[in-house]
Amino acid sequence: MFDIITSILASLGGFGVFLLMLAENVFPPIPSEVILPLAGYTAAQGRGSLWVVAIAGTLGSAAGAVLWYYVGRWIGIDRLKRFAARHGRWLTLTPVEVDHVDRWFDRYGRRAVLFGRMVPGVRTLISVPAGVSGMPLGPFLVSTLAGSAIWTVILVLAGYELGERYSQVASVIEPISNAVLALAAIWYLWRVAMFGRSRDGH
């Protein structure tokens, strides 16, 4: 993976960073904690501008988030409620609870997107409920760009400062990302197992 990323960065520069971060948000197995520190290290070697890398990474990340946002818009709250009515256990939500989540997102969605864009394992997924809840595109973009910029700059600067030790960034973040995903899986399975046990049937 390092060789492929290095080759793309060397041949395409900032546009390569944009494409890689777009791909990272569409295909999460391509990790930003590998792409961005390597891009920062490349800039430190004089093979590119630090700020071009940071801006390209932010825009690529935001572009990928917008794709998932529109997936959420396509699903929509009404379609999600119909799915919950038929397959609530697997969604772990009843139609009434979908409404509760929708109202929560209407109130706290901007902050949820902003901070979600900085959490490994959540960064991509947070765009879907934003779209489902009908969050306006303007506020979504502002929160997404802000969160993506913070995440991007931190990782790029880490790679820039660490130099040849840039891979240490991934060794720190990957366990956190894996832990978040593991906790999410455990929480989901618990929700499936407990579904309906404490509900009044509405």
Tell me the percentage of the chain whose pLDDT exceeds 90: 27
Q: Are 60 and 17 in contact (CB under 8 A)?
A: yes
Distance CA 61, CA 17 (A): 10
Instruction: Kindly report the average pLDDT of the chain as a whole number.
Output: 82
The two structure tokens encoding residue 152: 């991007």
Summarised one tens digit per residue, pLDDT across range 143-156 is: 999 999 999 999 99
pLDDT tier at 130, thresholds 50, 70, 90: very high
Does 201 have pLDDT greater than 60?
no
Q: What is the pLDDT of residues 35-86, one digit of tens each?
A: 888 888 888 887 778 889 999 999 999 999 999 999 999 988 888 888 878 8
Position of tokens 């920062």?
40
Q: Are the beta carbons of 48 and 42 closer than 8 angstroms?
A: yes
Of 56 and 14, more confident: 56
